[in-house]
Structure 1
Amino acid sequence: MNTNAIVIWLTGLSGAGKTTIAQELVRQLSRQGVKACNLDGDQLRKGLNANLSYSEADRTENVRRTAEVAKLMADNGIVPIVSLISPTQAMRSLARSIVSDHRFVLVYVNAPLALCEQRDVKQLYKKARLGLVTQFTGIDAAYEAPHDYDIELLTAYQDVLTCTASIQQYITHAYSTIDQ
């Protein structure tokens, strides 16, 4: 599979399945000899983006920094699979412009809010509903569902292997002419 210089960007609500899909996709690509890694929003917020809040400006900066890192990785032959809520169209457009349109694959990990709340192992939705966490996407901060995605994954109905197969099929078809 040709994945040279591609950035795979997964967007969706917390609990939609972005990290699970990204981790499995990294495993599968690695088995195929493709250098890949997951740039996970939660992990980035513990290091590179630890100084950022959840204000709109800081969320935009979180996306900008992540896109710059993803671009550098892709430029060096590593396929970054970004799992980041990236809640607005403007933020995702910023990421796409940094990486470049022809190298950016936007994957909408779509799950209903109620299902995301059921899957909430960190209890963040519960805390947000109690007012203990503010500016939480899907509760008191908006999530703009993308309309310009390359792939939509319906994780209420599709398991992780079906989701990763959809991504791999898209990449194989869309990027079959890129030189290795």
Structure 2
Amino acid sequence: MKNIVWHPNKVTRNDREKIKNQKGCVLWFTGLSGSGKSTIANELEYELNKMRYHTYLLDGDNIRHGLIKNLGFSDLDRKENIRRISEVAKLFVDAGIITITAFISPFIEDREKAREIIGTKNFIEVFVDTPLEVCIQRDPKGLYKKALNGEIKNFTGIDSPYERPLSPEIIIDTKKYDIISSVSLIIDYLKNKKYLDFR
């Protein structure tokens, strides 16, 4: 951008990570509404916090109260939503934070753009694989009922598509894993990939 020059920081990402004994990364939870993304993401952050790791959870509904409150649910707005979240998550990674995001993020193209912005080495796609019929049955916010009645337009899984990840780093099959085992699976992944206790 013209007349804007990047100013390098004296403190580096590596400096920030060393004092935290962890590597910054983004765990990008994706899945249908009602799949369990926010529930698992919250429990994951709770467990990592108990283990004394530095985390931050960016939840889709919570973010809509501020950063993206001016956006709706059109395809264009969804793309801008993901772009903004990706840029924020990128800053958290630079701060050495284990960043957890819980967004439907229904389109492969947008999730790949998020991966590009955040950086492939920092991006861990977590697909919470819950069948649509189960999500409709749960319907914790009553949104599927409204969508099926035509009260909500462009609702993912009803009149707007959800594109399943092609090769996510982690798949949580909620028919096989409960909340606790899902969290354990993710923490094991972080340990094996040296995001935790890496010194």
TM-score range, shorter chain: over 0.9
In structure 1, stretches of 5+ residues that fail to align are none
Q: How does 1:97-116 map to 2 (within 5 A)?
A: 97-116=116-135
Counterpart of 1:70, as a letter, is A
Q: 2:79 aligns with which of 60, 78, 82?
A: 60
2:180 match: 161
1:125 match: 144
C-alpha root-mean-square deviation of aligned residues, in Å? 1.7
**Alpha carbons 2:22, 2:198 under 8 Å: kept:** no
66-75 or 168-177: which moved more? Answer: 168-177
C-alpha deviation, 1:142, in angstroms: 0.3
Counterpart of 1:86, as a letter, is S
Structure 1 residue ranges (4+ consecutive) displaced by more than 2 angstroms after TM superposition: 175-180
2:89 match: 70
Q: Secondary structure at the match of 1:10?
A: strand
Q: Does 1:15 align with 2:34?
A: yes
4-13 or 152-161: which moved more? Answer: 152-161
In structure 2, stretches of 5+ residues that fail to align are 1-19
Q: 2:190 aligns with which of 145, 165, 171?
A: 171
C-alpha deviation, 1:105, in angstroms: 0.4
For residues 91 and 28 of structure 1, what CA distance do their matches in structure 2 show?
29
Q: Secondary structure at the match of 1:153?
A: strand
C-alpha deviation, 1:44, in angstroms: 0.8
With the length of structure 2 as denominator, give the TM-score of the two structures: 0.86
For residues 30 and 102 of structure 1, what CA distance do their matches in structure 2 show?
23
Deviations 1:153-179 (A, max 9, x none): 011331111101111111111236995
Deviations 1:6-43 (A, max 9, x none): 11000000000000011001011111111112100011
With the length of structure 1 as denominator, give the TM-score of the two structures: 0.95
1:46 match: 65
**Alpha carbons 1:4, 1:179 under 8 Å: kept:** yes
Percentage of identical aligned residues: 43
Q: In terms of Rg, which structure is larger?
A: 2
1:24 match: 43
C-alpha deviation, 1:95, in angstroms: 0.6
